[in-house]
Amino acid sequence: MELTTVWFILIAAMWTAYLVLEGFDFGVGMLMTILGRNDVERRVILNTIGPFWDGNEVWLVVAGAGTFAAFPEWYATLFSGFYFPLFLILVALIIRAVAIDYRGKRDGMRWRRGWDISIFVGSFLPTVLWAVALANIVHGVPIDANKEYVGGFFNLLNPYALLAAVTVLALFLVHGAVFIGLKTTGDVRERANRFALRMGLAAILPAVAFVAWTTIDAGKIAATIIGGAALLAFVGGLLAIVKDRDGWAFLGTAFAIGLSVVMLFVSLFPNVMPSSLNPAWNLTTTNAAATDYTLTIMTWVALLFTPLVVLYQSWSYWVFRKRIGVEHIPTSPAPSNSTQSNSTP
């Protein structure tokens, strides 16, 4: 297997890990004010992602750095052509990070409500904009013979991309609600599971439409099989909610999102960014790649450090594996010393 193909697979795996893990982060951020009926419940919901959210973002940094080093032409065209939506994503992620940290600095209701809105916006915008960006990468955008994006911002808001945004938004909300149900107790858990089931049923139609559109355009049997598996995993997750099996429900939504991302990259290969103007101007794993020497060095670095990242994240999820409820939230906004509780006030 050529190193260009190896790095295409690695970048696809990084994006898959990022979207699966940040998927429930974003979902929890959007649902915090919806499912939390008072400040204590909102703190419980936020604390479910307290030990994880910043570690999950490591996969975005790694995916961006890997794209820059392995496929510099892809990186240049993507980040210049999609500059405005990517800038909005960056601003939203910064606002979200500040809001999570600063929410517990004061006790005032107005203070916390303002940061709650910031967490919602900082979770909603990346969800929608990442969906739009990835959909356009797969569907094709105006790229000229010089490998430059020649469209505008509104070229990105096409029907396929908007369908992707609706689908991903619904999936992340379900994924986040299922994670809240997995990590909490009492009324918050029951409320989250009811929401997950209702939103999941509403998400089936756009999800089927998005998978069908993607696989028909791709014309690849592998993409069709993977897309079908994603839909089955999602339905299985919903059935697990009905059976009150929180762990299986979370695995179902996680596999649904992960397989959907894999479907997109399978549909894309061997292109990395198709041109809607002329197929001869497509960016591919060959004409957008770095030198073999660069890819060789990167491969050794990835073999060394990727297992360390996976082991550390796995350990953190194991340490903070227990459920939390309103009884675990101290009256003071100071974080608990218990490793099983939360690190975010």
- pTM equals 0.91
Is residue 140 left, alpha or beta, with left meaning phi > 0 and alpha meaning psi from -120 to 50? left
Helix, strand or coil for residue 271? strand
Q: Greatest CA separation found in the chain?
A: 63
Q: State the residue for tokens 């094709």.
A: 140
pLDDT at residue number 331: 67
**Rounded distance between C-alpha atoms, residue 156 and residue 140, angstroms:** 10
Within 10 angstroms of residue 56's Cβ, the number of other Cβ atoms is 20
Contact (CB, 8 A) for 141 and 81: yes
Q: State the residue for tokens 């559109």.
A: 213
**Rounded distance between C-alpha atoms, residue 202 and residue 114, angstroms:** 30
Contact (CB, 8 A) for 3 and 305: no
- Token reading at 7: 């790095």
pLDDT at residue number 22: 94
Q: Give the pLDDT of the chain (345 residues) as one tens digit per residue.
A: 789 999 999 999 999 999 999 999 999 999 999 999 898 999 999 999 988 888 898 899 999 999 999 999 999 999 888 999 999 999 999 999 999 998 888 888 888 899 999 999 999 999 999 999 999 999 999 999 988 888 888 888 999 999 999 999 999 999 999 999 999 999 999 999 999 999 999 999 999 999 999 999 999 999 999 999 999 999 999 999 999 999 999 999 999 999 999 999 999 999 999 999 999 999 999 999 999 999 999 999 989 888 988 998 899 889 988 998 888 777 654 443 433 444 455
Q: Which residues contact 47 (CB under 8 A, 6 or more apart)?
A: 324, 328, 329, 341, 342, 343, 344
Contact (CB, 8 A) for 59 and 19: no
Q: Which of 297, 328, 223 is nearest to 267 (CA)?
A: 223
pLDDT at residue number 71: 94
**Rounded distance between C-alpha atoms, residue 91 and residue 295, angstroms:** 31
pLDDT at residue number 340: 41
Q: State the residue for tokens 């973002």.
A: 57
Tell me which of 3.90.1640.30, 1.20.1630.10, 1.10.10.60, 3.10.20.30 is the CATH number of domain 3-323: 1.20.1630.10
Contact (CB, 8 A) for 70 and 298: yes
**Rounded distance between C-alpha atoms, residue 288 and residue 283, angstroms:** 6
Provide the residue count of the chain.
345
Secondary structure (DSSP) of 134-152: HHHHHH-B-B-TTS-B---
The answer, yes or no, to whether the previous bond of 270 is cis (omega within 30 of 0) is yes
